[in-house]
Amino acid sequence: MEGKRRPHKLPYSDIDLARWKDYDHVLTDSLWLLKSRKNTNGHKLDYHGNFIPQIAEQMMLRYTKENDIVVDWFLGSGTSAIEAVNLNRRLIGVELKPDLVEYVRSKLPAEALVSQVKLIQGDSTTAEAKEAVRSALVKMGCWAAQLSILHPPYADIIKFSDLEGDLSNSGSTEEFLMLFAKVAQNAYETLEKDRFAALVIGDKYSNGELVPLGFKCMQVMNEVGFKTKSIIVKNIEGNEIAKGKSNNLWRYRALAGGFYVFKHEYVMVFVK
Q: What is the pLDDT of residue 242?
A: 44
pLDDT at 37 over 60: no
Confidence of residue 156 (pLDDT cuts 50, 70, 90): low
Quick one: which of 10, 41, 123, 108 has its CA closest to 74? 123
Question: What class is the 26-271 domain?
Answer: alpha beta
For the segment 26-53, the average pLDDT, to the nearest whole number, is 70
Euclidean distance between CA atoms 18 and 21, whole angstroms = 8
Once rounded to an integer, what is the mean pLDDT over residues 126-137? 98
pLDDT at 214 exceeding the cut of 80: yes
What pLDDT, on the 0 to 100 scale, is given for residue 211? 92
Q: Per-domain residue ranges for the chain?
A: 26-271
pLDDT for residue 1: 43
Question: pLDDT: is 250 or 41 the higher one?
Answer: 250
Give the pLDDT band (50/70/90) at residue 43. very low
pTM: 0.89
